[in-house]
Amino acid sequence: MSNTTHACPLCAEVGGLLIVERPQWRVVRVADADFPAFYRVIWQPHVAEFSDLDLAARSACMEVVYRIEQVLRQALAPAKLNLASLGNMVPHLHWHVIARFDWDSHFPNPIWGERQRTLATPAEARLPLPLAQLDDQLRAALLFTTR
């Protein structure tokens, strides 16, 4: 996590269950019962916008997003993968990578939209593999760099 003097929650806290941490970025799994396969790529230095990064950093950041998406597609076969970099509430560069399923509580709405259904079975139990195994697959996929 970066050292800053302002009150940025992504500078002050890990932001979820830490999966991988490198000097430039970290990946966490967000604790969300409705969306168990919700990961966040957080840029370590405090910058607000993707365009604040130089070419090498932009490429590294998107490679991480790409590899997470690839693992989620292969391991979970979701109906859709949502990628988002909003920053309206927390102006620290981070990407949301979220596996979405046609059975999830909000589908086809965004996760921040209106709930469409209540699930009889917890969402995590409907995944084809345990989250710990998915996290291990992500760690293996993210061994490509030490940056």
pLDDT in tens, 106-141: 999 999 999 999 999 999 999 999 999 999 999 999
Q: What is the pTM of this model?
A: 0.92
β-sheet bridge partners, residue 81: 99
* Res. 146 pLDDT band, cuts 50 70 90: low
* Res. 5 pLDDT band, cuts 50 70 90: very low
Backbone angles phi, psi at 94, to 5 degrees: -155, 150
Q: Answer yes or no: is pLDDT of 3 > 90.
A: no
Helix (H, G, I), strand (E, B) or coil at 80: strand
- CB neighbours of residue 1 within 10 Å: 16
pLDDT in tens, 85-108: 998 888 999 999 999 999 999 999
Q: In what order do the strands lie in the sheet with 38-43?
A: 17-21, 25-29, 38-43, 94-100, 80-84
Mean pLDDT of 10-29: 96
Domains of the chain and CATH, by start: 9-141 (3.30.428.10)
- Position 89 scores a pLDDT of 85
- Position 88 scores a pLDDT of 85
Per-residue CA distances from 34 to 24, 43, 88, 100, 131 (Å): 29, 25, 22, 10, 14
